[in-house]
Amino acid sequence: MTTLPRAPSVTLRLAPLLVLALVGCARSGGETPPPTGGEAPRACTEIGCMDGLRIALEPSGGMPAGAYVIDLEIDGAPTRCEGNLPLKPCEEGSSVTCSSDAVVVEESGCAMAPEAQALSGILFESAHPKAVKVTIRRDGEVVAEAELSPEYRRLEPNGPGCPPICEQAEATL
């Protein structure tokens, strides 16, 4: 049996560097380094938040089956959303379409019985309209109307000065 000569151990030569690296990491404590200008270090979490306006739809009589049209006037600009209840099966995607990508109608219960399904809200993500007029029709008849002047509140879920910073408003119709 032939034995090959052993190569010098690289591990022994790199060991001092490894120790220095570990000591340096242990001393940092995982803190965010202080910003320039002498401010104290600040640690930020990574919680997200919804930015914009949400209108919750909570009709007292539920949402019967039918063809729904939601006409919106957003700071004077018209947008229309159309869809039906019962909703399409979940795997077929959204049942409501809007003429603007700035508006989303929230759908609830696509996997549930038709009588448990609803249009649960109107979302203006990353939009902060000052005036919104809403008219909801089912099978051509007006079932809800409102004129809203949302008041936004500033939210910093990860602490002061940490992103994201969101402006939120909510209304119920």
| Position 13 in a domain | no
Find the domain containing 102 and state its range: 52-172
Distance, in Å, from the CA atom of 19 to the CA atom of 2, rounded to the nearest integer, reads: 37
Identity at 30, one-letter amino acid code: G
| Position 38 in a domain | no
| Average of per-residue pLDDT across 14-22 | 37
| pLDDT tier, 9 (very low <50, low <70, confident <90, very high otherwise) | very low
pLDDT for 43: 84
| Position 41 in a domain | no
| pLDDT tier, 18 (very low <50, low <70, confident <90, very high otherwise) | very low
pLDDT for 15: 38
Structure tokens at 101: 């990508």
Total number of domains constituting the chain: 1
pTM of this structure: 0.73
| Average of per-residue pLDDT across 93-115 | 96
